[in-house]
A and B are shown apart, each in its own frame.
Chain A
Amino acid sequence: MSGLSAAVQEAIDAIEAGPQGPSVGAFFDLDGTLVAGYTAATFYGDRLKGRDVSPAEFLRTVVTAVDGELGGDPTRIAHVAFSAMRGESEEAFADLGDRLFRSKIAGTIRRESRALVMAHQRAGHTVAVASAATKYQIAPVARDLGVEHLVCTQLVVEDGQFTGATDGPMLWGRHKASGVRAFAREHGIDLAESYAYGNGYEDVAFLSSVGNPTALNPHRDLRAAAARLGWPVLDLSDPVGGSLVAAGRTLAALAGMNAGVGAGLAYGLARGNLREGRNAAVRLATRLPMALAGVSVDVLHQERLWTHRPAIFVANHQSALDIPVLGRLLERDFTIVAKKEARWDPRAMVGSVVIDPAWIDRGDSASARATLDGVVERIRSGTSLMIFPEGTRSATPVLGPFRKGAFHLAAQAGVPVVPIVLRNTGELMRRSSLVLNPGVVDVCVLEPETDWSTDDMSERIAALHTKFEETLARWPS
């Protein structure tokens, strides 16, 4: 399964079949289009939590918001918010944007929106985020998606502080449309060939300024207009939020993991073979909880997991779910290298009892090296190693740079590297979430790579990184 709905796949095929190159523009709205929900609400929620909001400001905001809903000027709410920001530091606000992106907004980026953005990027189109939001909301999302251009509302900054005013109109409704047309003139973009994606009823003018408009998860009034105007409508799946049921299943899964570990170890003790006991524990501790949580795995090229053992398995890392998933895949005779801080993480703790990881103290390079020497020995004696070369979990599916450690180990131990691409674990269990949602994890095992040496290591790592990116962008079927 490709993980994209048939309608989205069709849209991507149409993009690939259509005109290519930078003279074709692809304009994406932010709130409700690229991300589910409203980033402004996240920012405002943060202000409320920090008690930066006086009761009077709160009342004014609510009244203005309700009035906007009831046919008044819907942009006034934003101006109320902007004027409340007078005197605040731009730098601090940009930092807040980055922080909120990592903790909240990154998890709301729709996977299929990302796939559409990437399809346009592959076609060489000029991709831009066009939104009434400010760059503090948009820039982290755009950066994550690799989108260079922003067409957005500009706030006036003097001496590093907001004045509370906007530079030009708020890019909402007709102003967003004229902003996009002006951008197209500046960048030599042919609007008749271009694409736009939006969800709000105010996006009609914006959408109508291109030849290929798409109403994406549209607001009910835009859906009605799209039907009348004959515009295509795409309904993308939203990132799964943690439901109560999912939380319950997660608890059951944790219990299942413990039970699996206990049962496996007991089995091993009874047979007098700790190694077999460990392997049984891994099998039980990964299969049982994943079944309980409603998570299954769909693996491409499963045979490659077994042809080159012992090996160093490298995978991308988005979620705490990655470890049980990989445990389930590798099944037996493996261990992991983990940072020492993760030792007491409740999600990893039970598993760590079983697979006996090599803990690395990142702060102490001498002890780290000593640990790794020990690891080489373990590999040579037949235990495969599982490493996340990004080092840390990414907030989004965007691949971080690969560290060299795993590949040095492969060179030293003289074993192959087996790359494993995990696609959507981050969606089923978000970064910094304790809740696991049911679903199917897509896994693709790439061609194992042998004969690592320090001579051409950097080039080979870069090539492997590209392979990961390509696989994530165009999932093989």
Chain B
Amino acid sequence: MSTSSEDFERWGGAAAWSAGTELTAMQTLLWRAERHPVQSSTSTVVIDLDRAPDWKRFVAATEWGTGLVRRLRQHVVEPVVPTAAPTWADDPTFDLSYHLRRERVSSREEMLAAAAQVALRPFDRSRPLWEGVLFEGLPEGAAYVLKIHHALADPLGTVQLLSMLQSGRRAHTARKPVGEDQLAPAAADPVDLAVSGLRTDVATLPGSARATARMLGLAATRPQAVLASTLRYGASVRRLLTQTAPPSPELSPRTGKQWSFLTFDAPLDPIRTVARQGGGTLDDAAVALVLGGLRRYHLRRDSPVAEIPVGVRVSLDRADDLGNRFAQAIISGPLSIDDPVDRVAAVRGEVLSLHTERALEVLDAAAPLVNRMPSFVGASALRTAAAPDAFVLTLPGPPRKRFMAGAQVQGMYVLGPLPGAALTACLVTCGDTACIGVNVDASAVADLAELEECLAEEVRAFSG
């Protein structure tokens, strides 16, 4: 398949990307519960480019991208009372220059510091939920920093979207596909939304009443079975919510307001080898790698800790990190294991053990209910879910290096939010390279430079 026909196929996929006008239950919960930056769902992507792209071409390409992926020109409309989910609607005031700008910096450190500041500023929630800054003047070339709200795309979706929009070649592609003039959702009105939501509720009331009656009937006729299953579910919720390991004293106090971005590169193959030797996946290896860095840091701070709570993503469908349904859960991440392979095996055991928990989907299951309540309820529900010391996430990026407006992508780093954690690490596979982005709560870490050095050492240890 030629590069350009591959491009066209991908772009076709991008155009179909923003289907569905309502936010899902989980997106709604995150949207309504957002308290940026302490309880944020904003991810930031830093893309290293081998040269500064021509600004005009870059703007034109972005203009094209927002035409192709309609969602980038839409905003979220909330019903006046939360009887319905918020909806996406075209933003009549969309102006690309509000969302895209460029800045000059002289070093990568400066760029990362500026990117963290971009990420920390809250969105204007009445506008499309993204912001891009092209940083020029770097000795290595340039960097494009894209901040995107979780309601628009989760980190996985963001990386997919970016991979889809990039080009397989440096030269300009004429006659690129443009989004069909989709039936632009009728300009949504907050009052109409609330009323139609209420109407749906009333219409479905007999149905839900019947379901409730059935449930009560079952409880009355088979009380033991219902009680047993409720108790088992409750026990599972309790196991998932009570932290398996106490938080580390070395990673506090967290304010969530001082974000620091770190990036690391490593060849992917040796990491995959360690994963395989430990019987785990790349996800498990990423968790083990971050734990290895934190182990070094704790040892160097003379603060030996056996295990820390780590937030991981678990596939609800299969064991191999594929599938579409994921749950967030907390495992006890071992800090006492020196050997990377053994650490991967331990992480693997922890992650797979989550599959015995019937309540793994608890947050997903509760989301529709919580959404009917005022937003502070949702916010505190999210806070109740114990915050781990670190989140670790692995994301599949483009299989080979791509181009943006004539500049080659050198690396793509996702810097996730810090919802209560001291650090969030994302490993993005970019061709044959692992691009690791770490967002650190600088107020929680006494010696940030030391932590960066420890993580870098562990990256080298995994690289063989």
Contacts and interface: CB of A to CB of B under 8 A. Distances in A.
Interface of A: 69-72, 173-174, 177-178, 181, 191-192, 201-202, 204-206, 208-211, 221-222, 224-225, 228-230
Nearest to B241: A71
Contact of A228 (B234, B236, B318, B342): B318
A331 B390 CA distance: 76
Given A174-B349, A228-B319, A181 B355 contact: no
A70 B234 contact: yes
Contacts of A202: 353, 356
B148 interface: no
Nearest to B319: A229
Interface string B227-269: 0000100111111001000000000000000000000000000
A206 B279 CA distance: 12
A302 to B, nearest CB: 50
A192 B231 CA distance: 37
21 contacts: A71-B234, A71-B235, A71-B238, A72-B238, A173-B353, A177-B345, A181-B345, A181-B346, A204-B352, A204-B356, A205-B349, A205-B350, A205-B353, A209-B349, A222-B356, A224-B356, A224-B358, A228-B319, A229-B318, A229-B319, A229-B352
B127 interface: no
The 5 A-B residue pairs with the shortest CB-CB distance, nearest first, are A205-B349, A71-B238, A71-B235, A225-B355, A221-B356
A204 B318 contact: no
Nearest to A205: B349
Contacts of B345: 177, 181, 191, 209
A267 B155 CA distance: 91
A201 B356 contact: yes
Interface residues of B, number: 25
Contacts of B349: 174, 177, 204-206, 208-209
The binding surface of chain B is classed by DSSP as helix
Given A204-B349, A209-B348, A209-B349, 19 more contacts: A70-B234, A71-B238, A72-B238, A177-B349, A181-B346, A192-B279, A202-B353, A204-B352, A205-B348, A205-B352, A210-B279, A221-B356, A221-B358, A225-B352, A228-B318, A228-B355, A229-B318, A229-B319, A230-B319
Nearest to B359: A71
Given A70-B231, A71-B236, A204 B353 contact: yes
A127 to B, nearest CB: 20
B279 A209 contact: yes
B309 to A, nearest CB: 14
A71 B234 CA distance: 8
Contacts of A72: 238
A224 B355 contact: yes
B358 A208 contact: no
A414 to B, nearest CB: 63
A229 B358 CA distance: 14
B332 interface: yes
Nearest to B236: A71
